Structure 1
Amino acid sequence: MDADGRARRFGVEEEFLVIDRRTRAAVARAQTVLDHARAELGDRVGGEITEIQVESRTTPCTTTAELTGQLLENRATLAAEAAKAGLGVVASGTPVLGTPIPSPITEGPRQDRGNATFRGLHHELDLCALHVHVELPDREQAVLVSNHLRPHLPTLVALAANSPFWCERDTGYHSWRTLMWTRWPVAGPPPYFTSAAHYDELVATLLEAGALVDDGTIFWDVRPSAHLPTLEIRATDVPITAEESAALAALVRGLVVSLLPAVDRGDPGPELRPELMRLAYWRAARDGLAGSGVDVRTGRPVPAAELARRLLETARPGLEEHGDLDLVTDWLDRLAAHGDGATRQRRAARDGRLTDVVDHLMGQTAPVPQDGKPQ
């Protein structure tokens, strides 16, 4: 709960790929989908950096049931409007079919500055993530909570791993999107910060050095939002289903709420060795929930399922506070039984046919019957 005893609000941004329903390849037709979907959803949908992606957003929610309802509505509307144009939307961290290199970047002065700054990095930007916003208007508190979140980020990456394919090949990784992001100058796990002033000082240095276009290109996996009174956690691939996105968001909110008392007690959070954080990220991206992760404090391998259990225990107070413990526990049990998104994508590739993977993703992202109307 917040300082006034109210449920702490949270919201989600989901990114999707637009695909041609005939070829199943990713295509630069995002504007076609958005032109129609905005009539139904308004500001809850928008464009992204490339013409292959669309984004949906929820309003601030107090319950996971409310959040789930908005996610389902957003996905169903996008899918229905896409289907009318012979298109589809899929929830995958990377394209399965199609070779969109260089990425078809949208046009505008900000995009021009990005192209000039990041150059070849803008050639491979067809990447889709889930961003969870947790209401936290005190920036000092938000920055210090990020220190406590850092040890758990690799486990979140593993839980939501959903990008095994890239440009029509199997990368051998569960979250190739995570590896793609590590190439950017300001991305991945955030540094350890001593205060909000420390955060602002470092951002100013990065801007002066030319590593950022503006505050919107701070791509750390945890950051105070540049325009909302929230802490934004953006470490993971977009999950395949709306229910998974909602459960992951509930887990993230529960984790933030559970960690806040330590900040309020003056605990600045653990200072982790950067090389172990990098190792843990790499292992989580490579193996997802299928093998072992890395304990970021010791560097020792630990079964990913055990790391997930530890994460759940850390988040338990916040989950219980908001009535989400059973929902998140059930989701983790389903992941253990059926595999993370990457495992399910590979399972869908019967006889190696990647078209079957796209069909699986399209059907799970937002099932739409033949008449184009959402179920």
Structure 2
Amino acid sequence: MKLTIERSVLLKSLGHVQSVVERRNTLPILSNVKLEATAEGLALNATDMDLDIIERVSAAVERPGATTAPAHTLFEIVRKLPDGAQVEIAFEPEGSQLTLRSGRSRFALSCLAVEDFPSMADGVFSNSFTVAAPDLRALIDRTKFAISTEETRYYLNGIYFHSTTSSGVNVLRAVATDGHRLARVEVGRPEGADNMPGIIVPRKTVLELRKLIEETGMGVTVSLSETKIRFAFDDVVLTSKLIDGTFPDYERVIPQDNDKLLRVGKKLFADAVDRVSAISTEKSRAIKVAISPGLLTLSASSPDAGSAVEEIEADYDSATIEIGFNSRYLMEILGQIEGDTALFAMADAASPTVIRETDDGAALYVLMPMRV
């Protein structure tokens, strides 16, 4: 194998694939990136056995071939080469080292047999549809903060995507919850997604997918099998195992008859929460929200730091209520509200609160109260 490639092209592609590679691996081959040169250019492939990425880039290939090289080391070398450099990569089939040259720099990297590199991109993907990049970006951005990191409830360690009908409209819905808060966001159902089964896409896949979406304005082709999902971009294919579990019936935890409605300026409320919570030294940063007609009072106290109180105007005309929240959870939800006003629907101090945008029915959030 012998080829020449622009440093910027190689660096961008290595940046995508090396982030899939774990820093510690029980199998040495999983620390490597597979490099395959053909007449069409260079293909880079990395996997952790749960997530697989293949990216194809243009390169001047003098001699086709394939090998594997340490992913993170190769990325660091190329990152430190000067801008505009040309990189020559060579590998002899009978050798065990890959040679990289650029200007007066020369590197020799140990390789592992390409035959040992695992492939998980194979299989039959029976269901396929294309979703607009801005729609997929919105589904991820507005739900990923609520993904659980608790390994014992592994079925919550991702985003649940499914096709459904909402208010007579066919939608593609994304849901994430960690038991303390829940995020539910939907977009118009893409053509071909009618028969899509409910799937749970793992957190790591969601984060890698989000990076790739940032660099495309095109549609993303989504293909499904019984156990895997594949996202295809222009030159990149991301394949992931799905979480093998049953997502809970989230509709049961969304209150339907919360009758105490509060409308408040999103930024005004978020800034006040941020200030008042600074007094709390606890990890939860608990705050108390007292709501009375026309007025919202935020308070927090700490045995060590003291206390804080702030009042803001609010649109509210129901009975006075006091409710406690985790301020970090509250601010994360407020950060997803795209309009100027947030609508809170409450029942009492012990029941879940529903939060949504008054002018957007596509996003809904549920936040569990806490004792303060």
Q: TM-score range by the shorter chain?
A: under 0.3
Q: What is the TM-score of this pair, normalised by structure 2? A: 0.23
Higher helix share: 1
Higher strand share: 2
Q: What is the TM-score of this pair, normalised by structure 1? A: 0.23
